Amino acid sequence: MIIFDCDGVLVDSEIISNAIDAELMTEAGWPVTASDLIRNYIGRPKAEIWADIAGQRGEEWPVGLLDRADRLLLERMETELRPVEGIADALRRLPQRKAVASSSALPKLRRSLKICGLLDFFEPAVFSASQVARGKPAPDVFLFAAKQCGVDPDDCVVLEDSVAGVTAALAAGMRVFGFAGGLHSYPGHRENLLNAGAERVADNADALSEDFFTV
């Protein structure tokens, strides 16, 4: 079974989400760019990211700011969210059983896949870190996905775009491959994934084939 991360692998949401977060954090007195957030935090649950930065700045965020970020993201998803280029064709040609394991909250995750026309490739095997005790880089969501699908972790491979996700998949005892084909991909992205333990990295969805996952 192939377990896919969602944001940045299946849907190009990272550039939207991080742009919103960076704008609101900067307005609240913590200047940061979307590129900074992507480099340092992609793959981790949103609430954990905001909590970590609150610790760095030494004070809590204004009440309701994270909720505002979530609302803005849901609004912009409806008109701006697109699937990663070529990913639907890649999913069609991959014969393996498929699942999704994401750091996104389950309602947002399912909505993202539906907007992009990808939900039917995975239904009902769509799983969120909100369903387990710990988000990535802990292995919980990958182990949960395997258990719910009745598949041994040894028989799962993972496609991830983040160091946190690669770390989580390895901790789950799964083979892991990297993806650097999203619009948020940055210089050094593929090297970071390889250094984290990805066996190989696809630079675009066209590279995803049955052979890619069997090397």
Catalytic residues: 5, 7
Q: How far apart are CA 215 and CA 115, in angstroms?
A: 33
The DSSP secondary-structure symbol of 30 reads -
Q: How far apart are CA 164 and CA 44, in angstroms?
A: 6
Q: How far apart are CA 126 and CA 26, in angstroms?
A: 33
Q: How far apart are CA 181 and CA 86, in angstroms?
A: 10
Is the preceding peptide bond at 45 cis, omega within 30 degrees of 0? no
The count of other CB atoms within 10 Å of the CB of residue 209 is: 12
